[in-house]
């Protein structure tokens, strides 16, 4: 059986930042490997064959990212890599330098970084410092300098994402590394959204650890990696069979790892060309949204002013007077799939901590919608969105008015007329 990836189902798929369709090459590798038997930790022939696949994959991932193979730790994805980085670095450091208790993270990190950091604060005596960002979501480097000048010798680690998942802002990661270096503080970056979209070179970045995941770049879900410098003190989070140099136990998922490596290789090799294609589509989308809905506010750096500050596939707007979940529903029923961009709690979108950190009011933040393009995006997808948008926004605004009506504002039915007047 030959598997082919299905078209992203149900119309225009503008949510590649949530997950991407699998690339045909990755899918082929995945399916082929699923037919094989062998635990990479086994010493017999079948085990050796599987081990070879894993190590070749490790070399491929390392080569694509400017890292050494021994620096690649396979994990079950972005969240696990971030947890390993935050907890592992904090604990690893604590043995030798117990006074380093501060964890510095940007205020716009993904929950996979923020939540382990706050968990460490609650359970292990860490102190969290949220580093502020400007109104485009870009890290305030002066705030970082000031923080380190004041208490640099108490900092255990710094984590600043390479690019933001909601508003697409690219962070000054290299500057962070340079600022941190004199203090001897390890720096981690969540590059889940960046790999395959912008150039990512681990060695050149000077980073100590970097997170990436398969399903945001054409690979399968449930596989990713933490790239970590050799010699970095990393305490394991998962204990067991001692795989991945004892840092990450658990039987290696050979098919997923092979498909992941194929996807990373492909995404990085085709990056420049794809980025150009995405940026051009995205710029059309931004211009089109502005024309269709003049009061929509672009959030994050304006790509038409300086494309280098933003992911090429990302656009993000707030629509005044509308609620993001109304927009999402109406576009979904018009066959256009988007996201409010922020985390849900049991399906309820929460006002985005990223937008709030950028100084957006809670009310404006409720009207957020993210459009994210990927390898399979076409001008048709953008056209479908722009076709549907004016009517969708008008409707969502009406619904916003209906649901913001305060109690008592709606007329009560009284026995003052018998003609069934609409309330």
Partner 1 sequence: MRVLAAMSGGVDSAVAAALAVEAGHEVVGVHMALSRNREQFRAGSRGCCSIEDAGDARRAADVLGIPYYVWDLSERFEDTVVADFLSEYEAGRTPNPCVRCNEHIKFEALLDKATALGFDAVATGHYAQVVTREVAVAGPDGEAVTRTVRELHRSPNDAKDQSYVLAVMGQERLARSIFPLGGFASKDEVRAEAERRGLSVSNKPDSYDICFVSDGDTQGFLKARLGARTGEIVDTEGEVLGEHEGAYAFTVGQRKGLSLGRPAADGKPRYVLEVEPVSNRVVVGPAELLTVDRIEGDRSVWLADDVLAAAGWEPAQAGPVPDGAASAQVSGWFDASVQVRAHGAPVPARVRAVVGQADDGAADGARTEVELTGETLRGVAAGQSLVVYQGTRVIGQSTVQRAYRAQRAASAAR
Single out the residue of 15, 82, 325, 381 in contact with partner 1 (rule: CB under 8 A): 325
Q: Which of 220, 240, 223, 251 is nearest to 40 (CA)?
A: 251
Residue 402 CB, nearest approach to partner 1 (Å) = 4
Binds partner 1 (CB under 8 A): choice among 1, 6, 150, 346 = 346
402 binds partner 1 (CB under 8 A): yes
Query: Which one of the spans 173-181, 246-254, 297-305, 342-350 is the region binding partner 1 (CB under 8 A)?
Result: 342-350
Minimal distance in Å, beta carbon 405 to partner 1? 7
Answer yes or no whether residue 418 interacts with partner 1 by CB under 8 A: yes
**What minimum distance in Å lies between the beta carbon of 400 and partner 1?**
8
Number of H helices, E strands in the chain: 13, 14
Q: Does 401 bind partner 1 (CB under 8 A)?
A: yes
Told to check if 115 binds partner 1 by CB under 8 A, we report: no
Q: Is 54 helix (H, G, I), strand (E, B) or coil?
A: helix
Catalytic residue among 146, 204, 291, 344: 344
96 is a contact residue toward partner 1 (CB under 8 A)? no
CA distances from 422 to 49, 395, 400, 413, 418 (A): 74, 20, 20, 9, 11
Q: Decide if 344 is catalytic.
A: yes
Nearest to 65 by CA among 316, 299, 264: 264
Contact residue for partner 1 among 57, 81, 213, 326 (CB under 8 A):
326
Q: With CB under 8 A as the contact rule, which of the stretches 31-39, 232-240, 346-354, 355-363 interacts with partner 1?
A: 346-354
Q: How far is the CB of 170 from partner 1 (least distance, A)?
A: 32
Between residue 56 and residue 95, which ones bind partner 1 under the rule CB under 8 A? none
Among 43, 45, 150, 348, binds partner 1 (CB under 8 A): 348
Stretch that binds partner 1, among 79-87, 97-105, 173-181, 347-355 (CB under 8 A): 347-355
Contacts 24+ apart (CB under 8 A), 52-61: 53/254, 53/257, 53/258, 54/252, 54/254, 54/257, 54/258, 56/261, 57/257, 57/258, 57/260, 57/261, 58/257, 58/261, 60/261, 60/262, 60/264, 60/265, 61/225, 61/227, 61/260, 61/261, 61/264, 61/265
Q: Which stretch binds partner 1 (CB under 8 A): 115-123, 141-149, 213-221, 396-404?
A: 396-404
Q: Select from 422, 66, 26 the least CA-distant residue to 255.
A: 26
CB 406 to partner 1: min, Å: 8
**8 A C-beta contact, residue 135 and residue 108:** no
**β-bridge partners, 309:** none
What is the phi/psi pair of residue 24, to 5°? -55, -40
Note whether 124 binds partner 1 by CB under 8 A.
no
The whole-angstrom separation of Cα 258 and Cα 125 is 39
Position 410 contacts partner 1 (CB under 8 A): yes
- Give the one residue of 332, 356, 376, 387 binding partner 1; rule: CB under 8 A: 332
The torsion defined by the Cα of 340, 361, 112 and 149, in degrees rounded to 10, comes to 150
Residues that bind partner 1 (CB under 8 A): 325-326, 328-330, 332-333, 344, 346-349, 395-396, 398-399, 401-403, 405-407, 410, 412-423
Active centre residues (catalytic): 344
């Amino acid at each position: 059986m030959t598997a082919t990836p299905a078209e992203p189902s149900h119309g225009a798929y503008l949510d590649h930042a949530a997950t991407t369709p699998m690339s045909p090459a990755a899918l082929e590798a995945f399916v082929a490997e699923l037919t094989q038997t062998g635990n990479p930790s086994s010493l017999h022939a079948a085990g050796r064959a599987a081990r070879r696949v894993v190590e070749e994959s490790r070399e491929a991932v390392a080569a694509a990212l400017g890292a050494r193979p021994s620096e690649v730790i396979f994990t079950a994805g972005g969240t696990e890599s971030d947890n390993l980085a935050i907890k592992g670095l904090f604990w690893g450091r604590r043995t030798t330098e117990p006074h380093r208790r501060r964890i510095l993270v940007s205020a716009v990190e993904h929950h996979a970084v923020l939540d382990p950091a706050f968990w460490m604060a609650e359970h292990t005596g860490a102190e969290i410092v949220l580093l502020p960002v400007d109104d485009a979501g870009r890290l305030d480097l002066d705030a970082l300098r000031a923080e380190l000048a004041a208490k640099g010798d108490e900092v255990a680690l710094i984590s600043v994402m390479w690019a933001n998942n909601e508003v697409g802002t690219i962070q000054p990661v290299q500057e962070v590394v340079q600022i941190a270096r004199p203090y001897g503080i390890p720096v981690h970056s969540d590059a889940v959204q960046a790999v395959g979209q912008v150039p990512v070179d681990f060695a050149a970045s000077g980073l100590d650890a970097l997170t990436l995941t398969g399903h945001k770049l054409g690979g399968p879900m449930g596989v990713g990696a933490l790239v970590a410098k050799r010699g970095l003190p990393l305490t394991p989070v998962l204990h067991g069979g001692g795989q991945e140099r004892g840092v990450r136990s658990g039987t290696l998922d050979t098919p997923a790892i092979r498909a992941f490596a194929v996807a990373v290789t492909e995404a990085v090799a085709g990056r420049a060309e794809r980025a150009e294609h995405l940026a051009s589509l995205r710029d059309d989308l931004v211009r089109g949204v502005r024309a269709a809905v003049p009061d929509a506010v672009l959030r994050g750096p304006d790509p038409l002013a300086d494309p280098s500050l933003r992911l090429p596939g990302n656009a993000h707007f707030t629509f005044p007077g509308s609620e993001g979940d109304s927009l999402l529903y109406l576009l979904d029923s018009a066959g256009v799939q988007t996201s409010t961009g922020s985390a849900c709690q049991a399906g309820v979108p929460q006002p985005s901590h990223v937008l709030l950190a950028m100084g957006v009011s809670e009310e404006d933040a409720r009207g957020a919608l993210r459009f994210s393009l990927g390898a399979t995006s076409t001008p048709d997808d953008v056209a479908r969105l722009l076709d549907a948008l004016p009517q969708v926004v008008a409707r969502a605004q009406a619904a916003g008015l209906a649901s913001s009506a305060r109690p008592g504002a709606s007329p009560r039915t009284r026995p003052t007329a018998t003609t069934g007047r609409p309330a």
